[in-house]
Amino acid sequence: MPSSPAVAPPADASTLVLGVGTEHRGDDAVGLRVAERLRTSGPPSGTTVLTLSTDGTRLIDAWDGAGLVVVVDALSSGGRPGNIERIEVGAAPLPSSTRLSSTHGLSLAEAVALGQSLRRMPSRLVIYGIEGRRFGIGEPLSAEVEAAVAPVARRVAEEIAHAPAPRAEREADHA
């Protein structure tokens, strides 16, 4: 799956889903597969779904100033393959125990830290990490990770559907 040509979401998109990974590196492709599943099932209204398979600095360009951003990526923490971890990012750095897989120059954790230090973060950032088992070149997704694609896509769609409206939209509704 090629990555999306545009990095920045359309100006009218309040929610952004970023599927991160590399197609031909085994379980590292899981973020791309979740994004593909969301696209084909029809993402919630006002949601833009992008895929990125390059350096984490593109993440900062994509999410800078956005409302809700949900990033889906492979996780490599030594846990059970296919295990799903949800991380809501605040002002603090990601825990050092969180190891999001990266076959790129700048990992997701490093992109979060850099975005925080540059004050180029979305209003709200949620990461879904899926524990991977194999990341070798040319390997397919493992069965455990493949089985997590549909549930994660469902959880992301539910999270977006139940997210509170961004502050500016709430204030406009009450004016």
* Topology (CATH level 3) of domain 15-173: Rossmann fold (3.40.50)
- pTM equals 0.83
* β-bridge pairing 84-89 and 47-52: unpaired
Domain boundaries of the chain, sorted by first residue = 15-173
What pLDDT shows up at residue 171? 43
pLDDT at 78: 86
Whether the per-residue pLDDT at 4 is higher than 80: the answer is no
Query: With 0-12 CB in 10 A as exposed, 13-18 as middle and 19+ as buried, what is 5?
Result: exposed
22 neighbors 29 (Cβ within 8 angstroms):
yes
- Which tokens hold the place of 60? 């900062």
**Contact criterion met (CB below 8 Å) for 154 and 72:** no
Q: What is the 3-state secondary structure (H, E, C) of the chain?
A: CCCCCCCCCCCCCCEEEEEECCCCCHHHHHHHHHHHHHHHHCCCCCEEEEEECCCCHHHHHHHCCCCEEEEEEEECCCCCCCCEEEEEECCCCCCCCCCECCCCCCCHHHHHHHHHHHCCCCCEEEEEEEECCCCCCCCCCCHHHHHHHHHHHHHHHHHHHCCCCCHHHHHHHCC
Per-residue pLDDT tens over the stretch 52-100: 986 677 889 899 888 999 999 998 888 999 999 999 998 666 665 555 6
Confidence category of residue 167, pLDDT binned at 50, 70, 90: low
